């Protein structure tokens, strides 16, 4: 039986993750430092969503509208919300479809904050415990988004709440239920000696996206050379 260590996850199964009825949605961001960041979200296919350029465009239009209505005034002009992509994770060979309908860029006249700074939307499944939480790290903020001391401006907190609701609704309107992706995990022995049973792949429904807190977090990968 595989054994976990501090550097090795004994339950992880190598190779591409395959999850039935799960759709991967990747939102790219052009950052002020010239790098591209990616926010990866997942959803359960309610049975009507067919991954294609057309369905990616429909979702892109709704997500960008939510972005433009709520977040643009707090995003630097050097930051852009790119064309999202969708992929059916039911098979490892399924293609990625990239939207062509166009993204959007920030409108704040304030300078960009460091590219690694992000505010986080959090979501929880009905079940509790480890593995039932989702995180959506949103980068690209301008200095007017900061109220001082790394705390988000109150107006931005309000805007993020509206964006989170609109984002959730954009998914459901497209036939997608926001979810946490659970890839297949093999039975393994944890660091403390506990035996963890095999977990089958599935997409676990989320209840809502909400702002985790009003404190800027850090995504160090967005500033790596």
CA-CA distance, 130 to 150, in Å (whole number)?
A: 28
- Could you tell me which residues come within 8 angstroms of residue 17 by beta carbon, excluding any fewer than 6 positions away? 89, 92, 181, 183, 184, 201
The residue extents of the domains of the chain are 22-185+198-223
pLDDT per residue, tens digit, the chain (225 aa), is 898 998 999 999 999 999 999 999 999 999 999 899 999 999 999 999 999 999 999 999 999 999 999 999 999 999 999 999 999 999 999 999 999 998 999 999 999 999 999 999 999 887 776 778 899 999 999 999 999 999 999 999 999 999 999 999 999 999 999 999 999 999 999 999 999 999 899 999 999 999 989 999 988 776 665
Residue environment code for 40-58, b if the CB has 16+ CB neighbours within 10 A, otherwise e: ebbbbbeeebebebebbbb
Closest Cα partner for 43 from 145, 125, 166?
125
Backbone angles phi, psi at 138, to 5 degrees: -105, 115
Strand runs labelled E in 96-159: 96-98, 104-105, 117-125, 133-138, 146-148, 151-152
Closest Cα partner for 208 from 181, 179, 184?
179
């Amino acid at each position: 039986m595989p054994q976990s260590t501090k550097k090795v996850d004994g339950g992880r199964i190598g190779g591409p993750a395959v999850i039935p009825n799960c759709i991967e949605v990747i939102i790219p961001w052009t950052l002020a430092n010239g790098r591209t960041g990616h926010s990866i979200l997942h959803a359960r296919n309610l049975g009507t969503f067919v991954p294609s350029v057309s369905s990616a465009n429909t979702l892109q239009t709704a997500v960008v509208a939510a972005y433009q209505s709520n977040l643009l005034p707090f995003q630097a002009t050097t930051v852009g919300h790119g064309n999202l992509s969708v992929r059916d994770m039911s098979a490892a060979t399924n293609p990625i479809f990239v939207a062509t309908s166009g993204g959007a860029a920030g409108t704040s006249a304030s300078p960009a904050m460091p590219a690694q700074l992000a505010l986080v939307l959090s979501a929880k499944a009905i079940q509790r415990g480890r593995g039932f939480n989702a995180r959506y790290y949103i980068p690209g903020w301008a200095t007017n988004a900061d109220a001082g001391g790394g705390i988000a401006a109150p107006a931005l907190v309000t805007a993020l709440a509206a964006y989170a609701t609109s984002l959730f609704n954009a998914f459901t309107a497209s036939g997608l239920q926001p979810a946490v992706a659970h890839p297949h995990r093999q039975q393994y022995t944890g660091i403390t000696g506990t035996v963890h049973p095999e977990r089958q792949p599935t997409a676990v429904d989320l209840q809502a996206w909400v702002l985790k807190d009003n404190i800027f977090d850090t995504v160090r990968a967005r500033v790596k050379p």
